[in-house]
């Protein structure tokens, strides 16, 4: 990740090093925040945010789940995101975050002031060049994906992702690129920050929205694109054995985009090489986000 110059914070652009909160900020101590990660792409018509309106809607929905009083409309948030992209030289990723910034000791969030920041960075390849070209390796985590009765798993709530960081650390310590997490029922949920797909017997499968996953915007995009290309896509429970014996496995996410998986728990997926379906979908996704397929131009929010 490369830093940028300006951060949008509570309606103003401030210098990177001036965007600060107190050590007793409620969000810092208790994880009370909602965030998004959104990719910015270069197209022949300039920069564009991928599915900006859908990301803003999910941010607003997350604030509703957390009972945050968000003092900005969707249009104002879109403008703020555009402003922070324009204010910085090298941007391919933005991270809006609404959080309880008030100084408070104790769990009670009622009455704690809300703050809103939008940070832009240059992220590049999230999983690294080797994983991108050769395929990523996964390790099944001992940490389960937080389930819907124990956490707001369907919202991007800051505190929920503590488990994801533990899973990611565990995977890296095992020498893998990423972690795959099971849910409370023992089925495949998602990776630490990506949704997961398998291709088996000519069909694509992905866990349902009720499987304690985040209903990813890139996930939903790939489902639509795959169906447009003639693939049958089934949202269903996926067992660990079904995942390990799939013909292909790939991940989707804002940061990871479409990332092929070639090894899970030291077992090769298929022949251990990037599969044709994942490569086709990845290539089509790249065309879409860079503005080369007008059919999906509605997904690009031009700056």
Alpha helices in the chain (DSSP H): 26-30, 52-65, 74-86, 129-134, 162-173, 217-228, 240-244, 276-289
> Which residue has 């447009």 as its token pair?
228
Residue pair 286/296 in contact by the 8 Å Cβ criterion = no
What is the 3-class SS of 289-302, one letter each residue?
A: HCCCCHHHHHHEEE
Q: Is the CB of residue 70 less than 8 Å from the CB of residue 62?
A: no
For residue 163, give the 3-state DSSP assignment: helix
**What Cα–Cα distance (Å) separates residue 285 from each residue in 24, 45, 151, 205?**
42, 18, 31, 18
Closest CA to 250 of 136, 114, 141, 89: 136
Phi, psi of 95 (to 5 degrees): -130, 95
Contacts of 175 (CB under 8 A, 6+ apart): 137, 139
Q: Which residue is catalytic, options 156, 168, 263, 284?
A: 156
The question of whether 53 is a catalytic residue gets the answer: no
* Of 9, 6, 7, the residue nearest 115 (C-alpha): 9
Catalytic sites, residue numbers: 156
């Amino acid at each position: 990740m490369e830093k940028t110059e300006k951060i949008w914070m509570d309606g103003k652009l401030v210098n990177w090093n001036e965007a600060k909160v107190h050590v007793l900020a409620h969000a810092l101590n208790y994880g009370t925040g909602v965030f998004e990660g959104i990719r910015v792409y270069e197209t022949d018509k300039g920069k564009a945010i991928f599915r900006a309106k859908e990301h803003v809607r999910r941010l607003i929905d997350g604030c509703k789940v957390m009972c945050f009083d968000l003092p900005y409309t969707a249009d104002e948030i879109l403008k703020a995101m555009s402003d922070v992209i324009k204010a910085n030289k090298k941007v391919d990723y933005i991270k809006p975050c609404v959080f309880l910034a008030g100084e408070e000791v104790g769990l009670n969030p009622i009455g704690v002031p809300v703050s809103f920041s939008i940070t832009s960075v240059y992220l590049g390849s999230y999983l690294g060049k080797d994983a991108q070209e050769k395929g990523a390796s996964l390790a099944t985590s001992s940490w389960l994906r937080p389930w819907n009765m124990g956490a707001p798993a369907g919202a991007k709530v800051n505190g929920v992702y503590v488990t994801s960081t533990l899973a990611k650390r565990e995977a890296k310590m095992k020498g893998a690129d990423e972690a795959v997490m099971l849910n409370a029922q023992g089925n495949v949920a998602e990776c630490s920050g990506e949704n997961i797909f398998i291709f088996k017997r000519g069909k694509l499968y992905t866990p349902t929205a009720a499987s304690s996953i985040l209903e990813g915007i890139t996930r939903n995009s790939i489902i639509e694109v795959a169906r447009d290309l003639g693939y049958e896509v089934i949202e269903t429970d996926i067992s660990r054995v079904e995942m390990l014996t799939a013909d292909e496995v790939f991940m989707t996410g804002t940061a990871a985009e479409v990332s092929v998986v070639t090894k899970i728990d030291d077992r090769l997926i298929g022949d251990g090489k990037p599969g044709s379906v994942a490569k086709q979908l990845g290539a089509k996704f790249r065309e879409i986000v860079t503005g080369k397929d007008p059919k999906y131009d509605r997904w690009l929010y031009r700056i």
